[in-house]
Amino acid sequence: MKMAFSFFFRQEALLAAISEKDANIALLELSSSKKKTQEEVAALKREKDRLVQQLKQQTQNRMKLMADNYEDDHFKSSHSNQTNHKPSPDQIIQPLLELDQNRSKLKLYIGHLTALCHDRDPLILRGLTPPASYNLDDDQAAWENELQKMTQEQLQDELEKGERDNAELQEFANAILQQIADHCPDILEQVVNALEESS
């Protein structure tokens, strides 16, 4: 909980700083186009870009923390009484279910981001194609039943596939964040809200 507040306040501070840079840039751009003014605008834009990068990093860290929390919980539960090194099928199924839960959160987050972009300007998403895993809508119950019948090797393959899918989804979310930062930094606050909702 403390960590969540820390992320929230850091994101709020970054958003406030970005808004301030935007306001200063707008004021300078309205004034006469002297060389000094143009240099100040360029410097402010560089500073704003740096802040936007920080905000994106914070958002990525938040998503990673959510994923790591699942892994830590699993590690504690599966390794507390484990004596051999080879995981049993049950010990592979649990992280698979947790990966799937994290994938659902990533998809929800991407859905929020996509909706924000469509509301503001669908062109923000131009050139971005979601990974195949984003549009897959598996039957959860059937998939979980299927896992019970898989061999250890099949489960391991499924785990690797899940990790690849999650990495692709994270990369796609980052690409949308970059587009928002480049085209509509003023809606970054809504991005943070979307992140809060999906966590």
Query: Domain range holding 106?
Result: 90-198
Q: Is 69 a member of any domain? A: no
Round to whole Å and give the CA distance between 116 and 128.
15
Tell me if 144 is assigned to some domain.
yes
Contacts 24+ apart (CB under 8 A), 1-10: 3/65, 4/199, 7/58, 7/61, 7/62, 7/65, 8/192, 8/196, 10/58
| CA distances for 61 relative to 6, 8, 16, 55, 149, angstroms | 12, 12, 19, 10, 35
Residue 5, pLDDT score: 45
Residue 51 lies in a domain: no
pLDDT of 78 reads 47
Residue 22 lies in a domain: no
Q: For the chain, what is the domain count?
A: 1
Q: What is the pLDDT of residue 142?
A: 84
pLDDT in single tens digits along all 199 residues of the chain: 444 445 555 666 777 777 777 777 777 777 666 666 778 888 888 888 887 777 777 776 766 666 565 455 545 544 444 444 556 667 778 888 888 888 888 888 888 888 888 888 888 888 899 998 888 776 778 888 888 888 888 888 888 898 899 889 888 988 888 888 778 877 777 777 666 665 5
Side chain identity at residue 52, one-letter code? V
Residue 190, domain member (yes or no): yes
The reported pLDDT for the residue numbered 34 is 66
What is the reported pLDDT for 197? 62
Q: What pLDDT does 1 receive?
A: 42
What pLDDT score does 3 carry?
Answer: 47
* In a domain? residue 110: yes
* Rg of the chain (C-alpha set): 21
Residue 19 is assigned to a structural domain of this protein: no
Predicted model pTM? 0.59
79 domain residue, yes or no: no
Task: Note the pLDDT of residue 149.
Answer: 85
**What pLDDT is recorded for position 8?**
54
Q: Which residue has the tokens 């501070």?
A: 13
